[in-house]
Structures are given as structure tokens and as C-alpha cells.
């Protein structure tokens, strides 16, 4: 395991899940933060063992924390937010609380989408996995109302404009169905992860998605025996495969 001796305050706050890296400066400005009893400056550097107090919450800086990854089978109806909203439960209420550090979510799924959701305590890893430039393969099962034509399928594979940007599925594979069925299931793959992109792509062909399940993200696949509402911690060899994907460290 690679051990870092120093870290920038902004990066530490992002890694710990307090804010995104680009909002770290605002977070430092609007919150009470001290390092070893001294007011924290924007360009502060933290060392292993430093005492940091964030809004009266005291932490000992630990730069030797091992990377953990948790996968969760999100059911429909839960929201990808740290705060529940009305009748909608937060996904964070369904996963275990960490004794040290926080779980940080990799991307999001909308309230009506179920399937694979990924969390890690490694903020650098989460940022790399979430960033569009990572071009990580995402796999979904889609249930479509109606029967798409060959022309519509070709347009979805060759490219369609979604909110001014060209997008397409890398793979679009029909799943066998009964000839009398109203709905059709497809397995799709794409490498970008813009907001509601799968649904919006089908919308370009006037086709409605009435069920959407994410089943894969890079080397991580949703286990068939992991039921909706259940979670699982990845083994070290599985974590290593994810770290290699973005050339990250543990």
C-alpha cells in the first residue's frame, strides 16, 4: 500500500467527502477549520497525525487508510443523496456507517433507476471513476415500451443528439421475448455517464424506457445473488482491478 506523508487541505476535504475538489475553497471560506489549533489557510498542507477540527468535529489526519469499495443494489424509489426527501429514502440509509472517514458515491442513479451503485472511502478514486473523461464502460438492462425498428436501433448505435451533444450506445443487444409482449428488453453499453443519458438516448427515437437497471461499471458487475437493498464489500483483488482501471493507488 502506498503511503502519502502530506496532502493538500482541499484534497483532504474532497477525499473525506466534505465537498467536491472544485468547491473546496468555498467550503474552507464558509466553515470553521483549524489545523493543530491554527486557523486553516486555503493552501494549507496536512501531514499524517495532524489534528484538524472542522466545525468543532475533531479528526486525526490518517494518510495510511486503505481503499475500500462497497457495491449496493439500489432499488427504485431511493434517492442518491445524503438526505432523504419526503417519502424517498436515501441510499446512505441502506449502507453501513464507516468508523473512519466517509463513503463517497461514484456518480448517481435517478430515483426510478435501480441496480449497481458504487461507494468508496478514496476520494481521488471516486473523482477519477466519476469524471466523464474516464470513459468507463457502463452496462444497463432497458425495458422499452413498444418495438424499436431497425432504423431506430441503427440511429442509437451510430449517434443521436442529446441536449446538443452527440451520443450513442456502443452495444445494443435485444433480449428474446414472447412475440405478443408489449415491452422489449435490451442490454446496452455506453462509455459516457451524463445525467439520465440512457433514457434521453431512447427518447430521441420517441421510445419510452419504463424500467432501467445498471448491471455493470467497468470491471464491477452487479452480482446475480445481490438482491435489491443489499450491499457487499469488494475483496482486495476486486479493488485492485478497479484501481488499475484509473491507475490509482490504494
Q: What is the set of active-site residues?
A: 110
What the block records as the C-alpha cell of 217 is 461499471
Q: Residue 138: which of 158, 161, 115 has the closest Cα?
A: 115
Tell me the C-alpha distance between 107 and 193, whole Å: 8
In 3D space, the residue among 198, 184, 243 whose CA is nearest the CA of residue 219 turns out to be: 243
Which residues face 138 on adjacent strands? 190, 217
Q: Strand, helix or coil at 89?
A: coil
Cα(195)–Cα(192) distance, integer angstroms: 10
Residues 47, 77: Cα–Cα separation, whole Å: 42
**Residue entry with cell 436501433:** 153
| Closest by CA position to 9, among listed 33, 36, 45, 55 | 45
Handedness of CA 73, 79, 80, 82 (dihedral sign): negative
C-alpha cell at 194: 451524463
Q: DSSP 3-state assignment of 233?
A: strand
Amino acid at each position: 500500500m502506498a503511503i502519502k506523508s502530506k496532502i493538500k487541505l482541499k484534497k483532504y476535504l474532497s477525499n473525506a467527502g466534505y465537498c467536491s475538489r472544485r468547491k473546496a475553497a468555498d467550503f474552507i471560506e464558509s466553515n470553521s477549520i483549524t489545523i493543530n489549533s491554527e486557523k486553516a489557510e486555503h493552501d494549507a498542507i496536512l501531514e499524517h497525525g495532524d489534528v484538524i477540527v472542522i466545525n468543532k468535529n475533531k479528526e486525526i489526519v490518517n494518510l495510511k487508510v486503505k481503499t475500500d469499495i462497497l457495491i449496493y443494489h439500489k432499488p427504485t424509489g431511493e434517492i442518491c443523496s445524503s438526505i432523504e426527501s419526503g417519502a424517498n429514502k436515501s441510499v446512505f440509509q441502506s449502507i453501513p456507517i464507516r468508523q473512519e472517514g466517509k463513503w463517497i458515491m461514484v456518480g448517481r442513479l435517478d430515483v426510478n433507476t435501480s441496480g449497481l451503485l458504487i461507494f468508496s472511502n478514496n476520494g481521488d478514486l471516486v473523482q477519477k471513476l466519476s469524471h466523464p473523461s474516464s470513459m468507463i464502460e457502463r452496462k444497463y438492462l432497458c425495458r422499452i415500451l413498444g418495438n424499436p425498428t431497425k432504423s431506430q436501433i441503427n440511429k442509437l448505435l451510430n449517434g443521436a443528439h442529446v441536449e446538443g451533444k452527440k451520443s450513442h450506445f456502443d452495444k445494443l443487444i435485444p433480449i428474446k421475448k414472447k412475440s405478443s409482449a408489449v415491452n422489449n428488453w435490451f442490454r446496452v453499453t455506453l462509455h459516457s455517464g451524463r445525467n439520465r443519458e440512457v433514457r434521453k438516448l431512447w427518447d430521441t427515437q420517441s421510445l419510452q424506457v419504463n424500467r432501467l437497471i445498471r448491471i455493470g461499471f467497468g470491471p464491477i458487475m452487479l452480482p446475480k445473488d445481490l438482491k435489491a437493498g443489499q450491499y457487499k464489500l469488494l475483496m482486495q483483488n476486486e479493488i485492485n482491478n478497479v484501481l488499475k482501471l484509473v491507475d490509482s493507488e490504494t
